[in-house]
Structure 1
Amino acid sequence: MAVHFHEEDLPEGVLADGPIAVDTETMGLVTPRDRLCVVQLSDGQGDEHLVRFAKGSAFDAPNLKAVLADPDRVKIYHFARFDLAAIQYYLGVMAAPVFCTKIASKLTRTYTDRHGLKMLLSDHLQVDISKQQQSSDWGAPELSEAQREYAASDVRYLHRLREVMIARLQREGRMELAQACFDFLPTRALLDIAGWGDKDIFSHE
């Protein structure tokens, strides 16, 4: 198991075929304001790849964009809505098709309101990850080893967690409903970017 750090793009051919786990680190939670700093990826084979974008980056990352935009490769996220918007806004690609472990949790773990990644990994995989670096400065000129490990841990276990969530969705008869939600997430991200992030356009109001 190794964490590989790359500047501005992903080297060609470093990921195995099949689904990839994806996460992002940004300067904050307002996508047009808070720039994309890091994209994390894992093919589930034991290594993680972190692609860092410096201040002023043109986000020219052809290898990374090709992987993210590949329509035949499922991207596994935890809270895909945010990551999809960040990737679309800064890299200009829609990183779909999608599996979102947070939505899967909300559809199956209806006995709790705790759907964070740390809780899911603890409950289902008996893995404990630290979230201490979550609110650290991802735009710093140098990322600390603690930041790099935090970023890697956010994608390290998503393949295994997806399998658990698929089993739960099938058990509860909600796989089709979940897939419909996953298919809508790119549109939900585009609505967020366009300014409808906090408005329910489906409500009667």
Structure 2
Amino acid sequence: MNGIKLHKGDLPANLDLGAIIAVDTEAMGLNPVRDALCVVQISSGDGSAHVVQLNRDYDCPNLKALMADPAVLKIFHFARFDVAMMQKWLGITCAPVWCTKIASKLARTYTDRHGLKDVTREIVGASMDKSQQSSDWGAAELTDQQLHYAASDVLHLHHIREGLLAMLEREGRVELAQACFDFLPVRAELDIKGWEDTDIFAHS
């Protein structure tokens, strides 16, 4: 597990990860209201990852402070889900955020393949193993395979953001993307409160 640091319950105090971090979460399922948040993984972009295995009391003040810190930009892939999980289970508003999935959909309009595996392959030239995506993240002890999977989801996000940002700048869509990112905490709250499948902007 070279470069992967496992923390039980919370991040260490005074851990400086910089002003831009990559973040992902693992949970018991895809329903933020029903399925417990189990793991939060973080990378500062230096090739290493911090994996926080959460207790179900969610007594993790250091992690909460980092996720809510307005001076730290959090990069996600499909931030809508992760931000909703943190709102529901950590009781915080995670901001500011930058979502590589939204950026991909706004910049890579020549494809409909916007999953992390496809975006990583094109932007970074790296392959990802997603075999541990569906596993028991609530287990008392995480396997080496789970830890490596969790780390892999954040290790490339800084470079992906750089690549997508260049494309957004070229296409003149940076401000549009930023407006979408700023709306994500509200979108997450709508998901939690029952409007996850409703387009409130639609005519009917």
**How far apart are the structure 2 equivalents of 1:27 and 1:90?**
12
Note the C-alpha offset of 1:32: 1.2
Matches for 1:16-165 after TM superposition, within 5 Å: 16-54=17-55, 57-165=56-164
**How far apart are the structure 2 equivalents of 1:21 and 1:15?**
13
**How far apart are the structure 2 equivalents of 1:125 and 1:36?**
28
- Range with bigger deviation, 77-86 or 13-22: 13-22
Note the C-alpha offset of 1:132: 0.4
Note the C-alpha offset of 1:28: 0.3
User: Aligned-pair RMSD on alpha carbons?
Assistant: 0.9
**How far apart are the structure 1 equivalents of 2:138 and 2:77?**
22
Q: Are the counterparts in 2 of residues 77 and 98 from structure 1 also a CA contact under 8 Å? A: yes
Q: Deviations 1:92-135 (Å, cap 9, x if unpaired)?
A: 11111010000000001111110011111111111111000001
Q: 1:85 to 1:25 in 2, by over 3 A?
A: same
Runs of 5+ unmatched residues, structure 2: none
**How far apart are the structure 1 equivalents of 2:147 and 2:110?**
34
Partner of 1:179: 178
Secondary structure at 1:195 match in 2:
coil
Secondary structure at 1:93 match in 2:
coil
Note the C-alpha offset of 1:15: 3.2
TM-score, structure 1 normalization: 0.97
**How far apart are the structure 2 equivalents of 1:163 and 1:99?**
11
**How far apart are the structure 2 equivalents of 1:16 and 1:52?**
18
Q: Are the counterparts in 2 of residues 23 and 41 from structure 1 also a CA contact under 8 Å? A: yes
Runs of 5+ unmatched residues, structure 1: none
**How far apart are the structure 1 equivalents of 2:152 and 2:16?**
17
Q: Deviations 1:1-54 (Å, cap 9, x if unpaired)?
A: 610001110012333321111100000011111000000111112220011124
Secondary structure at 2:138 match in 1:
coil
Note the C-alpha offset of 1:61: 0.4
**How far apart are the structure 2 equivalents of 1:2 and 1:13?**
19
**How far apart are the structure 2 equivalents of 1:131 and 1:45?**
22
**How far apart are the structure 1 equivalents of 2:95 and 2:7?**
22
**How far apart are the structure 1 equivalents of 2:71 and 2:54?**
26
**How far apart are the structure 2 equivalents of 1:174 and 1:4?**
36
Percent identity at matched positions?
58
Q: Are the counterparts in 2 of residues 15 and 43 from structure 1 also a CA contact under 8 Å? A: no
TM-score, structure 2 normalization: 0.97
Q: Are the counterparts in 2 of residues 15 and 42 from structure 1 also a CA contact under 8 Å? A: no
**How far apart are the structure 1 equivalents of 2:186 and 2:97?**
12
Moved over 3 A (4+): none
